[in-house]
Amino acid sequence: MYSLRYRLGALGRSCEREYHALPKRATTIVSIRQHVNEGCRLLVRQHEPDLIRPGVLSSGLFWERHRKGGYQKEHRVSTKESIINGLKELRTEFALFQQEWKEKLESDPLVVFRPGEIDVAFGFDKQSDLDRWVVTTDKDHGEGYSQATLEQSPAGYGLFHGTLESRVPKDGRIKRAGYANIKSLRVRKSFKRDAFYDWSQYNTLVLKVRGDGRSYLINLTAEGYYDILWNDIYHYVLYTRGGPHWQVAKIPFSKFFLASKGRVQDQQGPVPLNRITNVGFSVGSRGGHEGNFRLEFDFIGLEFDPSHQEEFAYEMYRQPKYIVAT
């Protein structure tokens, strides 16, 4: 009986501390005080809309509600606007549907497999090609002061350039800053159906670029169905040389390694080339590499190299079953 009374008293004191830590708002302080001793933090969160609930935390307890892990932006649209926008997109969706069936009926597997030839997956010579990419920096989320953009260069190529700053905001929350990233839009079918790039017939990624001497990180996203697989990205480093000359980088897919949220995973494996959702490039200022950066793209292509027989370049450790975070 004494232990039960002691536990109830401790619960009341912990909830009282939670109450005193909340901002004093005249409109909610009375209602919060009435309920704070009945439950604990979960009930307090229901009265305070500014507090993030556990399911929305980017480092969530058991699951994540949003694919962007706390960086999502909600755009509320009325039912009337949704209907109007949907009717406007019908023509585009039917055109995509027609294109799908055309490719399905005309596809010839003998034409696809041509050893030694480069098939261009992403071009950069038109504005519509650049619209397939999204540029993000730490400044977009209030976590830094870096700036970047993707535009056409005077010569007609895709130019990813900007300025990196490692200076952090003085909010006591951000410890490191200074990055920029471009990422291709998710490929989809007609009527908003998600799709994947199927690159299983290729074994080499080919890039024709003109860099500034920096190292850039290539990101191949293979997004899964569940929240634990949403952030699976395969990385490899793109080393560029400065100067006016173009370079053609051929990187086998067997060299890419798996990471999730920036952490290299212990349990590695080959890239699932039939489930690629996005392609991206990142650059950071870590190690004192601040200042301007510049990476120019001619094309991003794919190649089947019959002389490359390697399946995976790294050790694949056998992990015991039911081990978390491996």
Residue 281: pLDDT band with limits 50, 70, 90:
very high
**pTM summary value:** 0.72
Of 62 and 133, more confident? 133
Q: Is residue 325 over pLDDT 80?
A: no
Confidence of residue 2 (pLDDT cuts 50, 70, 90): very low
* Residue from 76, 160, 138, 121 nearest 302 by CA: 121
Q: Are 119 and 303 in contact (CB under 8 A)?
A: yes
CATH number of 114-304: 2.60.120.430
Element (H, E) at 82: helix 79-106
| Per-residue pLDDT reduced to its tens digit, 168-186 | 888 878 888 899 999 999 8
End-to-end CA distance of the chain: give it in Å, rounded.
44
pLDDT at 88 over 90: no
CA geometry: angle at 180 spanning 176 and 182, to 5°? 145
What's the confidence (pLDDT) of residue 312? 92
Question: What are 134-147's pLDDT values in tens digits?
Answer: 999 999 888 899 99
Q: Which helix (H) or strand (E) holds 239?
A: strand 232-239
For residues 124 and 151, the answer to whether their CB atoms sit within 8 Å is: no
CA within 13 Å, CB half, 324: 1
Q: Given a cut of 60, is residue 6 above it in pLDDT?
A: no
Task: List Cβ neighbours of 36 (8 Å cut-off, separation of 6 or more).
Answer: 15, 16, 18, 19, 43, 44
